Amino acid sequence: MDINLTDIWVYLAETPLLWLTLTLAVYLPADWLYRRTNALPLFNPVLLAIIGLVLLLLATGTPYATYFDGAQFVHCLRGPATVALAIPLYTYSATLKRMLVPLVGALLVGAVTGVVSAIGIGQLVGLSDVTLRSLAPKSITTPIAMGISEQVGGLPSLTAVIVILTGIVGATIAQEVLSVTRIRESSIRGFAIGLAAHGIGTARAFQMDAEAGAFSGLAMGLNGAVTAIIVPLIVSLML
Amino acid sequence: MIRALTALLLCQLVGEIVARLLQLPVPGPVIGMLLLWILLLVHGSIPAWLQQTAQTIVQHLSLLFVPAGVGVMVHFSRLQDEWLPILLTLIGSTIITMVVTALTMHVLSLRMNRMQ
C-alpha cells in the first residue's frame, strides 16, 4: 500500500497536471478567505497562495523548476489578461480623453519617482549593488522588469520576486495611502495604484471599482514602457 | 470563450510582432491592449462574447502572478540577508510613488479645469 502511494506520487510529481491543479486549488481558498475578510490587506490572495505553495514545495522537496512546468499554463495567461484590460479601458474612454494631459504628466513624474526613490532608499538602508540594480524596475510588470534588470546588471529572477513583492505591498497599502491624499476620483486613484504596483495593484484597484481598475491597467501598461526607457539612464547616474 | 481567447491572443501576437519589428521597449501584450482598445473604439461597442470572457480573466488577475511569486523560494538565501532593507525600500518607494503620482495627476487636472 505504502509503495503504491509512493509510486503514484513519483509519477504525479513529474507531470505538469499536479502543480497546475495545486496552483488553482491553493489560490481558490486564499481568494475566498480574502473576500470573506472584506479584503483585509494582509490576506492578499497572491501572498497567501504563494506562502501555501512554497510550504507545499518545501515539504515535498519539489524544486521550483518542476513546479513551474505545471504552473506555467497559468503564468502564460498574463499576456491575454493584459490585452483584456482594453475592455474596462474602453468603457472609460470619455474620462481618459478628459484626463489625458494630467495622465501623461503623472506618468512621467511617477515613473521617475518610482525608480529614483527605490535606488535612493535602497542606498540609504545599505542594499548591495546587485540588489539595487535588480530593484530599480520594481514598479512594472514582470516580463519587462526582468529584461531591464538583466540589461543594467541585476539578477532577473530576483527582480521577478521583487516585482511581485512590490505588487503585494502596493495592493496592501493602497487604500490607506490614497486616503491620506484625500483624492476621491477613481481615475486618479486607479492610475496611481497601477503605476506603482502593476498587475497585482490593478487586481486590487478593480475591487475598489471598475473605473479605478481601468485606469490602473492603463498606468501599468504605460509605465512599463516609460520605466524601460528611464531605468538604464537613472542607474548610470546613481550607481 | 474560445472566440474571445483567440481574439485576445491574436491582439497579443500582433503586439509582439510590432514590438519586435519596431524594436519598441513596450511589451507585446501592452501594444495588444492598445490595439484592442482602438478596435473597440472603431467598432463602437463591446461584443457580448468578448465581454464575458474578458471579465472572468480580469477578475482573477491575482492568480496569474502566483507562479512567478513562488519563485521567491529560489532566493531564500539572499532574502535572508537583505529581507528587511528590501522590504523597507519597497514600502517606502511604493508609498512615495503612489502619492506623487496621485498628487501630480490631481494638481494637473485642477489646472486644466481652471483653464477651461
Looking at this predicted complex, what is its ipTM?
0.90
Contact A166 B94 (CB under 8 A): yes
Distance from CA of A226 to the nearest CA of B (A): 8
A53: amino acid identity, one letter: L
Contact B94 A23 (CB under 8 A): no
**A201, A167 in Cβ contact below 8 A?**
yes
Written as nine digits, the cell of A105 is 504628466
Residue A2 pLDDT grade (very low, low, confident, very high; cuts 50, 70, 90): low
Distance, CA of A211 to CA of A213 (rounded, Å): 5
| Beta-carbon contacts below 8 Å between A and B | 310
Distance from CA of A236 to the nearest CA of B (A): 18
A196 to each of A41, A131, A173, how far by Cα in Å? 17, 19, 11
pLDDT recorded at residue A142: 83
**A54, A68 in Cβ contact below 8 A?**
no
Distance from CA of B96 to the nearest CA of A (A): 7
On the question of pLDDT at A75 being above 80, the answer is yes
Q: 528587511: which residue's cell? A: B84
Residue of B54, B59, B72 lying closest to A54 (CB–CB): B72
Residue B104 pLDDT grade (very low, low, confident, very high; cuts 50, 70, 90): very high
On the question of pLDDT at A184 being above 70, the answer is yes
Residue B32 with chain A: CB contacts under 8 Å: 79, 82-83, 86
Written as nine digits, the cell of A85 is 484590460
- CA A27, A30, A33 angle in degrees (round to 5)? 150
Question: In whole angstroms, what separates CA A21 from the centre of its chain?
Answer: 22
Residue A224: closest CA among A170, A103, A143, A119: A143
Q: For the segment B18-76, what is each residue's pLDDT rounded down to a tens digit? A: 989 998 877 788 899 999 999 999 999 999 999 999 988 888 888 988 998 898 898 88
Residue A234: closest CA among A124, A142, A105, A120: A120
B9: amino acid identity, one letter: L
Distance, CA of A131 to CA of A162 (rounded, Å): 10
- So where are chain B's domains? 1-59, 66-116
Contact A114 B69 (CB under 8 A): no
